[in-house]
Structure 1
Amino acid sequence: MLPQVLLHHGLFPTAPSQPHMAVSVELLSFYQALFERSCDAINALASALKTHYSRRGLGYAIQWYDILQVQIEHRVEEAVQNSRNRVATLHSQTEDYTSTLSTLHRGRCAPILIQRCPACFAGTMFGKPTAEGGDIHTATDGNFHHRHRRAAGDCPHFYDPTYFLPKEYIDHIGHHIEAQCKRPAKSPVLLVPDEAIDQCETACEAADGKKQKVAMDSFDDTGIMALICRHDISLFFANIDSPGEQQKYSVALLEHLFLLIPPHATVVALYDVGCVLARSLSKYNILPSSIVSHLRLATTAMHAYGHEWACQLVDNPWMCIGLGLSDGEGTKRLWSRFVRLIGVERSSLAAAIGSEMQSDLGDWIQRHLKCGINDQGTAAQEVLDQCELSIKDLESEWSQQRSSQLSVCACKCFQLILNTL
């Protein structure tokens, strides 16, 4: 009964039973907000308040308070999900299917995805072809600034992080990729010639999974890999524990995403070396065919200009039908938000930043509708009007130019010209 009595009086115990100290709930809330903005460690605040609290007592209180917050969030989400299920049941009983939706399939994404970005995952109709933009747009990228020093050790296990994939799962994907790559490769028909992808792989640092970017002797986790939606909201993370950015991290993140969406849903994933990863998935049975057929890989907008021209014609998001304003650079904007976490890292802060970005989702959509669709659309229409050619004629000319420049001969000639410059 003692913890309940303390909570009734606005105090939070340092242990769930037989606590030796209690801390003001207002102080704990203040510290949590302070940590999300400045990432000060617990002992920094404890030192400032050492005349009132001991460092150890405040640390325990923060730990249990954080666990309680997570439990409350789970209970609230469970209640919200029960309401969603009831509404969906009533809706499916009364809905009249129309012929315009005959090519789509009904389904629902996992509650955890709906919670993180309702704009991407709260829909119920899926099956739009990836050639037309797909249903869901994502982006993935690695960051080697967020590393963990080996000598620091691990803290006691509080709770299972909902954002980070387990190391065992990622290692399993890595062993599967190694086993598949030892088998005879298939000869897929790719739009981008192998010669062009070889040049992209040589030029792009992210494609070299063996290049050591961090001293492995000093760090056990050398970075993190993120998967975000088109609204720059983080979905899942993977700890990088290898010298470079190996394919197992992006493959694990994408496979985990497909486990949480309807089987007919299609996904477009943008990655700095999307062309290299796409070729690996086509040559080896790294992912199930049911996933590969519903997945479209492309390069991020900024990195696309460092790729071969043949690769840009197929994988540059500005040249792909249906991708709209999705550029795949949201991971860079996410790293900008995470910069304050480099000094001290905790997985629960991913949830805090994700919640903040979800709260800003309405402003994000409004800003892109105005600055993106409205302003850029108007400018593009003015250029089209000056061409004095129909959209159909322009599409025909572009299709012919694209087909010509995607040939193996054109790729070799283009590379020969570059070598002579």
Structure 2
Amino acid sequence: MATDILMPQLGESVTEGTIAKWLKKPGDPVSKYEPICEVSTDKVNAEVPSTIEGTIVELVVEEGTTVSVGDLICRIQEAGTAAAEEEPKAEAAKEEKASAKAEVPAQEETSMKQRYSPAVLKLANEHNIDLTRISGTGRGGRITRKDILRAIEQGVPAAAEQPVAAEKSAAPREETKPEPAQPKQPAPVAEAAGVPLENGDIEIPVTAVRRTIAQRMVQSKHEAPHAWTMMEVDVTGLVELRNRLKEDFKKREGVNLTFMPFFIKAVVDSLKEFPYLNSVWGGDKIILKKRINISIAVATDDALYVPVIHDADEKSILGLARAVSQLAEKTRAGKLDLKDMQGGTFTVNNTGSFGSVLSAPIINHPQAAILSFESIVKRPVVTNQMIAVRDMMNICLSLDHRILDGLMAGRFLKRVKERLEAYGPNSEI
């Protein structure tokens, strides 16, 4: 008999996923644990394996469709069973489901629509959004945070702007113009619809990965009040040290010795001194994370990923170099596992690798801060009352001002600077 394959939960905080690509089509045989589709979530791209051996009978969800965890995505005829037995059962199940949907679940869906999470209520109140005007995409029609953010972007009327419900009586009533609503804070400008195309313009459909990145960036900017600070670092000694070690390091260890392991090492040691930088906002509390898991930004041709080095504070420069190399290779090969993307507590971004000298990165929600290391540039600098050519670099910190103030962020950044400037050509690693 055919077995229903449901959208799995690809992580404890993942509630939905987008079918990016079907790897099988109806009629194709499939082995147990063989991937049947690729799914994009707000965490990672992952392959969904078959739970049984058999033949694909039906693909219920089209590519590009986002479904909730637990929803039916396809059916597989289990090996050794007769397909003929399945057809009447499937028809009966469809009829039963259609009948039930018009009766009992209608009440369940209505009740679910009226159950709003605290996060949804808070976000709706902040932007003066009338929840009765929003269609929920969650299970049972429940409104999710993503629905609220989408409504804000699309310019859904505020609560004060809703039209008065029509009375049951047919008697005419005087029409009044409602006063313009005064939102508590300005909502983002909605994206232009129906933009006219000129000759030579090219339309590029938004991929599931790009849509997820966009949603996460909007969420971070909406929720976290960003502040920014920068310091200049003299890394002349570090440059000389790396130049001295890199060839032997490559031969001995099999990986390149980049500047990234040194940057991460300076960060994790400083996070131990300033644990508030290694925290998340919990609404009515700040959660200081025990583990120091460093998210590193890795760019591909079409997207940006942030895989995680878990327990980075327990690794040496060698261990960090290997971890960075392995994660970068897996990212560019599209082989990241879900565990590679989970648990990050602080993000490090080496924007200097493509020549940037100054940046203001968006915080990797729900972390407290993100630190960018910019390009190392030779510049004339006054040292010991003399002008000398030094290797200089900017380090740029974006922080969640709900958790961190400028004083603590500045002290943290100063310790990162001091640790990087402490390296010399003869330092041991």
Q: Same fold by TM (over 0.5)?
A: no
Q: Which of the five TM-score ranges fits, normalised by the shorter chain?
A: under 0.3
Query: Normalised by the size of structure 2, how large is the TM-score?
Result: 0.25
Greater length-normalized contact order (CA 8 Å, ≥ 6 residues apart): 1
Q: Larger radius of gyration, structure 1 or 2?
A: 2
Higher helix content, 1 or 2? 1
